């Protein structure tokens, strides 16, 4: 064998290896694109479902009616204050100096 024959064989082997790497890379990229496409389809399905759920919930209204005020006091406490007209009950207060 001649030196030139060896270098030609080595060059051909390297060329074949390079083509095999390119082929593997193309296969990986195709698989990745296919996977991304599937994920996009699933995302679109979920978004469509959420959109449908949001359309159904448009008629639901949360909150108090306009004629009811929002307070931290319960209705019973407010009623007791209306009946007493003297303010909040201080009998449960721990400060004796505030009691009459």
Q: What is the pLDDT of residues 29-44, one digit of tens each?
A: 999 999 999 999 999 8
pLDDT at 49 (0 to 100): 81
pLDDT at 50 (0 to 100): 79
Q: Does residue 12 carry a pLDDT above 70? A: yes
Contact indicator for 71, 78 with CB cutoff of 8 Å? yes
Is 81 buried (19+), middle (13-18) or exposed (0-12) by CB count in 10 A? middle
pLDDT at 16 (0 to 100): 95
* Mean pLDDT, range 39-59, rounded to an integer: 76
Predicted confidence band of residue 2 (pLDDT cuts 50, 70, 90): low
Q: Does residue 84 carry a pLDDT above 60? A: yes
Whole-angstrom distance, CA of residue 98 vs CA of residue 88: 12
Contact indicator for 98, 90 with CB cutoff of 8 Å? yes
Question: Hey, is 4 helix, strand or coil?
Answer: helix
* Mean pLDDT, range 16-28, rounded to an integer: 96
């Amino acid at each position: 064998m001649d030196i030139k024959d060896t270098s030609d064989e080595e060059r051909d082997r390297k060329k074949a290896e390079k083509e095999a790497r390119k082929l593997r890379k193309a296969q990986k990229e195709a698989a990745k694109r296919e996977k991304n496409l599937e994920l996009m389809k699933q995302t679109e399905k979920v978004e469509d479902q959420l959109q449908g759920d949001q359309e159904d919930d448009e008629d639901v209204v949360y909150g108090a009616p306009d004629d009811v005020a929002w307070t931290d006091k319960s209705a019973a406490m407010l009623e007791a204050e209306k009946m007493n007209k003297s303010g909040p009950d201080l009998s449960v207060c721990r400060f004796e100096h505030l009691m009459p």
